[in-house]
Structure 1
Amino acid sequence: MLIQTVALKDVKCFALHGYYPEEQLIGHDFLVNVEVVFIPSTDTENIDKTVNYEVLNDIILLQMKNTQKMLETVVKNMLDNILDKYSFLQEATVSIKKNHPAMPGDVHQSFVQLQYKAD
């Protein structure tokens, strides 16, 4: 059995996500990763028979513009949108890294990830 993976790695976005009001005013740089796994169609030249990574990018950009307090909400919304569009997925993973979060110490990134696995 063949298993196919389609992914976007480190999609850089500036967004206003954050729990604290000042985070939603100044914003942050984020890196978003999406990876999906499925059984591929035998029609490998038909974009309608696969996962279009342009659609994945559109979902990322849409949800990054939709300001939320919690990154957990953002990754859940992205994952829900992806599964709504591609119900045949066996697995999907969405993660967001927040670059240089405002907290004591030299923290390079915070990270939130959510995974889906079909039954």
Structure 2
Amino acid sequence: MLHIALEGIRFYAYHGFYKEEQVIGNHFVLDVKVSIPEPEHPSSLEESVNYEGLYAIAQQVMQVPQALLEQVVHDITAAIKTQYPGVQASVVTLRKQSPPFGGEVDFSVVSLEKQYVI
């Protein structure tokens, strides 16, 4: 199995359950990892997953405000599978910096791991 990942993608976005979060926004850190069968010809991008494409998917989804981070990671996962049907597994992890609920917390984290039967 070949793993392709982007780690520590940083976005400023407007996701959050509370109205203030949807107006003020927050800092987010995203990790995306996909797994595909090892290509016969590893020098051919057509047999792999272009990490530039993964970034474009993440950027597009992160621009659409959602109340729940669970929806954001779901949308990223679904878009990856649509664009790269050969993906056999994925892990998408989204961290919200200093969530606004009155406690001292570095990040809240939502992670979605998918295994596909191909």
Q: TM-score, normalised by structure 1?
A: 0.95
Show structure 1 runs of 4+ deviating over 2 A: none
2:18 corresponds in structure 1 to: 20
Residue 35 of structure 1 and its aligned partner are, at CA, apart by: 0.4
CA distance in 1, matches of 2:2, 2:112: 20
Distance of 2:102 and 2:67 partners within structure 1: 20
Out of 55, 69, 75, the position equivalent to 1:71 is 69
Count of aligned positions: 117
The answer for unaligned runs of 5 or more in structure 2 is: none
Q: CA deviation at 1:87?
A: 1.3
Matched residue, 2:115: 117
Give 5+ residue unaligned stretches, structure 1.
Answer: none
Letter in 2 for 1:94: V
Aligned to 2:86: 88
The two structures, once aligned, show a CA RMSD in angstroms of 0.8
Aligned partner (choices 54, 60, 63) of residue 62 of structure 1: 60
User: TM-score by structure 2 length?
Assistant: 0.96
Report the 3-state secondary structure (helix = DSSP H, G, I; strand = E; otherwise coil) of the residue aligned with 1:75: helix
